[in-house]
Amino acid sequence: MKFKSFYEIYYAHRIKKAKFLNKIFIIIAFPINYFINKILFQKIVNLDLYQRENMDLFNLDLNSLFKKFNSDKGEQFINQYQKPIHQNKNYINGHEYHSFYEKFLRDKKDKHIKILELGSFKGNATAAFFFYFKNASFFSGDLYPDFFCYKSMRIKNFLIDTSSRDEIEKKILDNDIFYDLIIEDAGHYLKDQIISLFMCFKKLNSKGVFVVEELDFPDTRKDMNSNNEKPTLREILNRVLKDNDFFSKYITEEEKLYFIENFREIHLFKGRFNEIAFITKK
């Protein structure tokens, strides 16, 4: 956990809103808070070693694995987004996406697939998927890769800003890797969701699945769509389902046509709190 990342995630917004005296106090106390939280931060786990003594995990269902590794994709998790100093052991409700993932991905469970995660944070979901997809290779990208707490020969963790077309171009499109599953779980901002899907869809293998978590955030949260722009990705997908045309300034005509010609199915579901999309390719 780097000094800069800790500041940007937990303190930048507080300092921006704070009054003068409070701002000075926060700035003075920040280095002490950083070092205390760094000491308490989750230690890195080598999953290649961990699996040797935990082979039973390969037999668990996805919801059990999400709970085991504390991912909010399942029914319950311990809040991983709190600062380590405030971490408690109380379970809270998760998104309940596990049943949707199992429905669409059970047939890929034992295959040698490649998975791209956009927005991996501490890697808790990666660790769960590591045991569910026992032969998969993972490419886990995040704006703060220093928060990632797992390592393996099957995992490549990297830095990416999914709000940037240039970043997506250089770090995903300009390589020779194609994926069988792409999970978009990054910033959830309107622009990020749209460009991630329409730029990366061409990197999805035939019969691959593209997942967008918290699809409804730009429709329901002001901070994810501060200018109330339209259409959101949720609206775009609903228009495509109805064979209606759409326009977005964030994608090219070529990207739009490629998606229209190559998607097979679009399924939208409501988890416990938010919506999730599963898009399969022809």
pLDDT at 269 exceeding the cut of 90: yes
pLDDT at 15: 85
Question: Side-chain half-sphere of 92: how many Cα atoms within 13 Å?
Answer: 12
Distance CA 199, CA 254 (A): 10
Residue range(s) of every CATH 3.40.50.150 domain in the chain:
45-281
pLDDT at 16: 83
Classify domain 45-281 at the CATH superfamily level. Vaccinia Virus protein VP39 (3.40.50.150)
Average pLDDT value over all residues in the chain = 96
H-type alpha helices, the chain: 3-10, 12-17, 20-40, 47-50, 62-68, 98-105, 124-132, 165-168, 190-200, 217-220, 233-241, 253-262
pLDDT at 109: 96
Among the listed ranges 22-36, 57-71, 95-109, 154-168, which one has the minimum average pLDDT value? 22-36
pLDDT at 69: 97
Taking alpha carbons only, the member of 271, 205, 229 closest to residue 66 is 271
50-97, pLDDT tens digit by residue? 999 999 999 999 999 999 999 999 999 999 888 999 888 899 999 999
pLDDT at 180: 98
Mean pLDDT for 112-141 is 98
pLDDT at 172: 98
Taking alpha carbons only, the member of 262, 89, 100 closest to residue 183 is 100
DSSP 118: E
Q: Is 205 helix (H, G, I), strand (E, B) or coil?
A: strand
Among the listed ranges 76-90, 125-139, 162-176, 246-260, which one has the minimum average pLDDT value? 76-90
Token reading at 32: 């002490």
Render the burial of 7-20: b for 16+ CB within 10 Å, e for the rest.
bebbbeeeeeeeee
pLDDT at 125: 98
Are 69 and 125 within 8 A, CB to CB?
A: yes
| CA distances, 158 to each of 141, 143, 200, 258 (Å) | 5, 9, 16, 27
pLDDT at 26 exceeding the cut of 90: no
